[in-house]
Amino acid sequence: MGVKPSSRGCFGWFIVAVILALIIGAIVYTVKKKSEKSEGPAPIPGPPGAPDKKYADALKIATQFFDIQKSGKLVDNKISWRGDSALRDGSQAKLDLSKGMYDAGDHMKFGLPMAFTATVLSWTILEYGDQMDVVNQLEPAKDSLKWITDYLINAHPEANVLYIQVGDPDTDHGCWDRPEDMTEKRPLTQVNTSFPGTDVAAETAAAMASASLVFKSDSTYSSALLRHAKELFTFADKYRGLYSESIPEVATYYNSTGYGDELLWAACWLYHATGDKSYLQYVTGQNGKLFAQWGSPTWFSWDNKLAGAQVLLSRLTFLGNKDTSNSGLQMYKKTAEAVMCGLIPDSPTATKSRTDGGLIWVSEWNALQHPVASAFLAVLYSDYMLSSGTAKISCNGDSYKPSDLRKFAKSQADYVLGNNPMKMSYLVGYGEKYPQYVHHRGASIPTDATTGCKDGWTWLKSKEPNPNEATGALVGGPFLNETFVSNDRNNSMQAEPSTYNSALIVGLLSGLVTTSSVVQSFT
């Protein structure tokens, strides 16, 4: 008996259904495999891509503040309202301390934050020099760095002597005048074996070691920097003590809360500069156990370098040292990862220290320092992940990609550049709305004004905007409620810029200006 036509039709549809199921299964399998692949190694970026105009424009502006802060005889001066100043600094000790940079809106040269400025600027150039070069900011940055390191070399005339301050803060802050017109005395302050300053000596060693890598094409200068770095590290380590305890009067302005972080930070940079494993053993051995605070995330700043050291040492694990048996290095990387997990907003361990607008919030004074510093570390860490093919980090079981860290870094940069409740840029000269009453003497006094120490106060109290623009200045920033008192020049808490703030924002913008892989090694 033959099969009915209708039955043959049903069988045909059954065959079609099986084939469709197989096709769909294959598609699902392929999609799943692609998804699994996407969780594999992160793609490694190549040479610098096209620059992001927003960050490129901001970077070109930010680097200009270093020129505004230069002391000494200005060569190829690019700032119309600045001139030579402090030409006799150091003369009473038969030293030339005329170079270096003024700290903030005043005329002080404070060694600890100035050396930190140099270290961060060196780190930026070493990691992102190719990206800076794309927007023609590499050479200006190197020029600014050398202006500081020239000063630091002269400030270290003997193995165990380091001049760490030029000017008297009380006298200096009792005047409101242009640096070109200063008449007040400029006393010198030093640390030595009787009055040690481990923190400031070690930070200066870090600055010189990192800069020796930046200037390695000039072997004579690079070697000199490295020699000073080694001597200063030995001095810092052998004669231990806080500089703000040895010299209590410095505590009012830049009080150091510890020196262990600077010792580790300096040893990190000396290892990168020399390849001498004794420096690596220094940070991973007993001194690491004493000072590294493994497992306890901290904020990166002029005072505390631990998070910076953790990220810098993570670089070795990501890109250099594949020896996973070095438990010390692994602890640094684990702690750096905890720092990163604290920054990503939706991480289970995300810090709650943020404004409603998403800005990291740590300090009312100079509020922007910590979020910009955190974002700088985040963009570095994300690039270490990308360049090593690391797909993700784990934060209490949740996974995050390099792009999550970069997104956080951009959020902080964008806040600074105007994406905030005030709808204003905190980087002077960027955007259509930015601070006009910056707490900065040179910017606030017309170049043709004749003022002494005391009669310059008129300009501090003036209700008119600054006659000179402090282009590139990153001011202190908003209050916790995200307000900013924009018409009060005496509002130093919010309206005063600092040179180390500039180093941090230049670092962050250099990391965001375009994309590329970081170098495998600095040497």
Active site residues: 439
Give the CA radius of gyration of the chain. 27
Distances (CA, A) of 214 to 126, 177, 244, 489, 506: 6, 35, 30, 37, 16
| 75-95 confidence digits (pLDDT tens) | 999 999 999 999 999 999 999
Residue 225, C-beta contacts closer than 8 angstroms, at least 6 positions apart: 149, 153, 208, 209, 211, 212, 215
Q: Taking 60 as the threshold, does the pLDDT of residue 18 lie above it?
A: no
d(CA 450, CA 356): 45
Of the pLDDT bands very low, low, confident and very high (cuts 50, 70, 90), residue 6 is very low
Q: What is the C-alpha to C-alpha distance for residues 463 and 489, in angstroms, rounded to an integer? A: 8
Mean pLDDT, rounded, for 10-38 = 38
Please tell me whether residue 38 adopts helix, strand or coil conformation. helix
- Average pLDDT over the chain, rounded to an integer: 91
398 within 8 A of 432, measured Cβ to Cβ: no
**158 DSSP β-pair partners:** 161
pLDDT at residue 521, rounded to an integer: 85
Write out the CATH class of domain 47-512.
mainly alpha
Structural tokens at position 498: 């600092």
> Of 97-101, 248-252, 478-482, which range is least confident?
248-252
What would the mean pLDDT of 472-499 be, rounded to a whole number? 96
pLDDT at 458 over 80: yes
Q: Give the pLDDT mean for 277-295.
A: 96
pLDDT of residue 38: 37
Q: What pLDDT was estimated at residue 519? A: 82
- Which pLDDT band holds residue 33 (cuts at 50, 70, 90)? very low
Q: pLDDT tier at 3 (50, 70, 90 boundaries)?
A: very low
Q: How confident is the model at residue 439 (pLDDT cuts 50, 70, 90)?
A: very high
**Sequence-distant (≥ 6) Cβ neighbours of residue 482 within 8 angstroms:** 355, 356, 357, 359, 420, 421, 422
- Do 386 and 345 touch, CB atoms closer than 8 A? no
Taking residues 189-216, report their average pLDDT. Answer: 98
> Using 50, 70 and 90 to split pLDDT, how confident is the model at 42?
low
Measured CA distances, 182 to 7, 138, 455 (Å):
106, 32, 13
Predicted model pTM: 0.91
Whether 99 shows a pLDDT value over 60: the answer reads yes
First-residue to last-residue Cα distance in the chain: 88
pLDDT of residue 7: 35
pLDDT at 47 over 80: no
Task: Pull the structure tokens for residue 396.
Answer: 């209490």
In whole angstroms, give the CA distance from residue 420 to residue 46: 33
pLDDT(44) > 80: no
463: tokens are: 């209700």
Predicted local distance difference test score (pLDDT) of residue 321: 60
CA dist 138 → 57, 152, 428 (Å)? 14, 21, 21
Examine the pLDDT at 339 and tell me if it is beyond 60. yes
- Pick from 361, 307, 371: nearest CA to 336: 307
Give the mean pLDDT of 296-313. 97
DSSP strands (E only) in 157-281: 162-166, 188-191
Residue-wise pLDDT for 112-140, tens only, equals 999 999 999 999 999 999 999 999 999 99
Read off the tokens for 474.
Answer: 């990153």
For residue 427, what is the DSSP state?
A: B
CA 161 vs CA 148, 189, 228, 233, 245: distances in Å: 18, 10, 11, 12, 17
